[in-house]
Structure 1
Amino acid sequence: MQGEAEAKTTREMELLGLLPYWLETSQGNAIPNDVKMHSLFLLTGPNGGGKSSILRSICAASVLGICGLMVPAKSAVIPNFDSVMLHMKTYDSPADGKSTFQIEMSEIRSIVTRATERSLVLIDEICRGTETAKGTCIAGSILETLDQVGCLGIISTHLHGLFDLPISTNNTVFKAMGAETVNGVIKPTLKLTDGVCRESLAFQTAQREGMPDPIITRAEELYESMKESKVQYVPVVPGMGSKPVINGSKSEPLAKEVERSILVICQKGVVKAGEVACVIVGPREQPPPSTVGASCLYVIIRSDKKLYVGQTDDLVGRLRAHRSKEGMQDATTIYFVVPGKSFACKLETLLINQLPLEGFKLVNKADGRHRNFGTSALYHDAIPHEALTLQT
């Protein structure tokens, strides 16, 4: 623990090697984490990813440290908080005539009305007891309020719609509980990372807990139908076909223009319509773990509106490297998965040569030197169509 005088002045908390002390290290589920908290965290992660565990660990470490007791961490710098406020999952109270959501709102009301810049606020699974759309908006408003207060803390959520709201924050960063792909199966790492995780692992979790396979299969079918119902085709440029537009998308116009051009270029005899599924990754978002080990084409849209085209088998690692460079932290990325590295290289050349013809400026043109593939009107005849068809 730090000295008393220093603890009274610092507003930063640092817990190195923090452990969920109630779990067995020998069983592999007590994973240490380094928590350096200078602001409010908006925490996402899959089911079973360790969100609740890290909230409990931070809460216990803070209370123990303030009391001058041993902390379950290798080292700790803990501010002299005026209050530690924790809200975990709630249940209804029939005796009080209150539903689960009413209890939650009552508890969070106490937090937002009493929190100060010297408070530690920990809220787990915010607004989970009501209709998703309105619950998301209430959660966004609560996040803005706590951000303005300037307290330290974590708000964990599965409400990914928060990232599509026009929320104004200055004291909030995005954190995620990591996941990795092992033998084709996505597994939580229980490690705290930067960014946003939109993977819930809901189907996998339900199956692991014994939910009958027909129910899981039907749920997956319904999920796919729900995604398809959000896609409509609208004309974009006369004579150039249609593009898929996601209802309610908050993607910036330039990203939509780049996506349209990617689809148009890829469909000029290279792939059939609908076989390229572009995914937009926001500046602070992470690609899903399923992209690790998969061949991907990606286009980074820089803040100066110039594009970088690349291909990789590790999109998560590649974007991390790009974002470490100055001026790239706020860049948006568009990617799509392709069947194999060889095909990825050819499509990379194609996009580098063709995107400038669509009116975009590129920062990497060296990989477009194979111009016979990228510019010839007969390039699709030179390669068997079977080798060019993307598998969905």
Structure 2
Amino acid sequence: MKVLVVGGGGREHALCWAISASPLLTRLICAPGNPGIAEIAECFPVGSEDIEGQLALAKAEGVDLVVVGPEAPLTLGLADACAQAGIPCFGPKAGPARLEGSKSFFKDIANAAGAPTAAFGRFTEAAAARAYIREKGAPIVVKADGLAAGKGVVVATTVEEAEQAVTEMMEDRIHGAAGATLVIEECLVGEEISFFALCDGSHAIPLGAAQDHKRVGDGDTGPNTGGMGAYSPPPAFTEALQAEVMERCITPVLAELARRDMPFQGVLFAGLMLTKEGPKLLEFNVRFGDPECQALMLRLRSDILPALVAATQGELKDFDLRWEKLASILVVMAAEGYPGTPRKGTEIRGLEAAAQVPGVQVFHAGTARDDAGRLVANGGRVLGIGASGKTFQEAREAAYAAIAKVDWPEGFCRKDIGWRAL
């Protein structure tokens, strides 16, 4: 099979790495890719949000399957375009992709499906939003309705902080049009889990769970980021909880989308809070998480490609995935200044030595080659150092041993990834 993976981050590197091991694969293409992906796939300089360009590439190269990594191409209709061209695509069409593209739509679907989620209000006027915040009090969560690159959520500990978030999102438009509508909801308390299910429009199978670390600093301090690391499986997420989430969250939501003639094919990412009342939905994403995908792929022992194909063909009902009885961890190395304005162009050395540590896999996220061919930082989250082991302690020690071999003074990472598991 010829496969095109859309995207160029750490998640896409992990997907390419997993797909490249499939005996079904004859050719692997990635667009736009990155220097790490280029070691295992042919990379083409087509932006992930260039729908026409991606479709033209898929046609020109005669690909048998398109695998979409980021959310933006899905909300822009890449899967729709592929369907019209007769090219199988792993990822939902624009309609069901609104589960991530619109917090309001997510809430509507969750409520219609009877899936447990936080109480909320929806607002298009700042004055009404502020009045709701003052009525409910803090802590309270303020969310931009649209896509905001993982930065459109403020967990406010005071009323003043929440009102400031309203001002910045709705009036200052720090997230552009994404903040024109706000969803303001109760602050759920508990342990946060990322759970993934493969879906074929009618059926779903569990893909596993991971736990992300959103805050930039050790001890979960500082501003939220796109994710500073992850580990899998989270000890708090038992088989019984997984069965409950499948029954109460995934299956009814799939049925509700199908009822609305919007069948969901792809990976459904449930952001969960394990509350005293049971698991509740924080959000749905319509793609693999980053960095959770990297942690999951390190543990997967099944051939991932047949599962992706089955999802596009409505054949997941009796599909079985095998997992290694290992723990995995992914530590993100970010550029100085992240999550604000990251410093770009700094040289990165030592990755070859890092990759030699047993159990370690290095994933590129925001890297590039400069005119001299040097590997340099080209984003905020730049590298993902992943490792697997028989225990979390073993995996964690391997990951940080590899990080110690990376020669990049301008990079930093959290030193406590996986602390809940330990």
TM-score normalised over the length of structure 2: 0.24
Which of the pair is proportionally richer in strand? 2
The one of the two structures with greater contact order (alpha-carbon pairs below 8 A, sep at least 6) is: 2
Q: Which of these two proteins has the greater Rg computed from alpha carbons?
A: 1
Which of the pair is proportionally richer in helix? 1
